[in-house]
Amino acid sequence: MFGIYRTILALAVVLHHCDLYRIGGYAVMAFFVLSGFLMSLLVCETYKGRIRAFAMNRFLRLYPTYWFTMLLMALLLWLGLPLSREDVGIPPLAQLIPDILYVNYWKDNPQLLLTSWAVTNEIVFYCLIALGISASQVRALVWLFISIIMYFVVQVFSSAESDLRYFSPVAASLPFAIGAVAYHFRNVVSAANIVPLGIVAGAAMLLCIFIDAAGVTKPPTQLLFLLATAFFTLSLFHSAKKARALKWVDDQIGALSYPVYLNHFGAMMVALLLVERSAQANFILYTVVISLALAMLNNIVVDVPINKVRNSLRRS
């Protein structure tokens, strides 16, 4: 059930940037927890001893869709569509070259894909996980311990606007480490506890979001959300074994998550041709529908041929 979950998180980011619900930050952190879990699983099981195949699989998953979406955004800008945000644009050449390589930490210049910084953080931890940072329970726990220390140091000594609190790999380390530890302790949850665990964890996640909406975001709330997300991830992992009939549906819906996450600012530009942003309900509806349509286009043009290569790598 990870596919449906990923797409819900991606749509939460879309709603955040449409100024409906300010939950995008929590959705990104949930993405990081899930990635820490899944990447540890892949490196320790599916690609154990085959790091080169793992790296190629990740490259094929991320970069073709990324480049396709960059070209799409450049086309929309060339056509003169209204900007969805002032910082959307063609970056200077000195920035464009690292952008193409998926190095996205620029804030003072326009960017084609404003959300790609989070995937840059993911790539950092994909590399660290491939190098063995979560290869065992002990290593994952050490990583978690160091990440907790970094988290509190940043909370105490950095300013409220510091990138260290959200945009940097320092901020992403804790949710990734929590996901990796959840993978290594995945069997502490019995099959009988899957449903109640998922309900309680999901309710705790929503509680944290409601607290944040009230303007009371504090480290304890953030840590509770990450912990609840880890248990929710475990419940989805175990429930997937019992819901094999839904696997195809889950895969198809999940395939939309990544392109939706990347393309939704472009979808907002198209939506602005059809409706005023002040008509929020219609603007959000158009943005979501167009973003999903662009994601389907990406999957037809890019993912279908690429996935044949990825599947052969996975089976080899």
Q: In the chain, where are the structural domains located?
A: 2-315
Give me the torsion for CA of 87, 93, 99, 104, rounded to 10°: -50
Give me the torsion for CA of 36, 257, 20, 75, rounded to 10°: 120
> For residue 63, which of 103, 23, 21 has the smallest C-alpha distance?
103
Q: What is the mean pLDDT of each run of 10 residues along the chain (316 residues)?
A: 93 92 90 97 92 92 96 96 92 90 81 94 96 96 97 91 89 97 89 81 92 70 94 90 76 95 97 92 96 96 85 73
Angle between helices 116-130 and 51-78 (to 10 degrees): 170
Name the amino acid, one letter, at 140. A
What was the pLDDT predicted at 20?
81
CA distance 217 to 208: 8
> For residue 113, which of 77, 166, 60, 163 has the smallest C-alpha distance?
77
CA distance 224 to 135: 25
CA 311 to mean position of chain CA atoms: 22
Single pTM value for the model: 0.94
CA atoms in the 13 A half-sphere facing the CB of 314: 11
What was the pLDDT predicted at 193?
74
Determine the Cα angle at 253 with ends 247 and 259, to 5°.
135
Residues with Cβ within 8 Å of residue 105, at least 6 apart in sequence:
117, 120, 163, 167, 168
Q: List Cβ<8 Å contacts ≥24 apart for 245-253.
A: 246/1, 249/4, 250/1, 250/2, 250/3, 250/4, 251/3, 252/3, 253/3, 253/4, 253/7
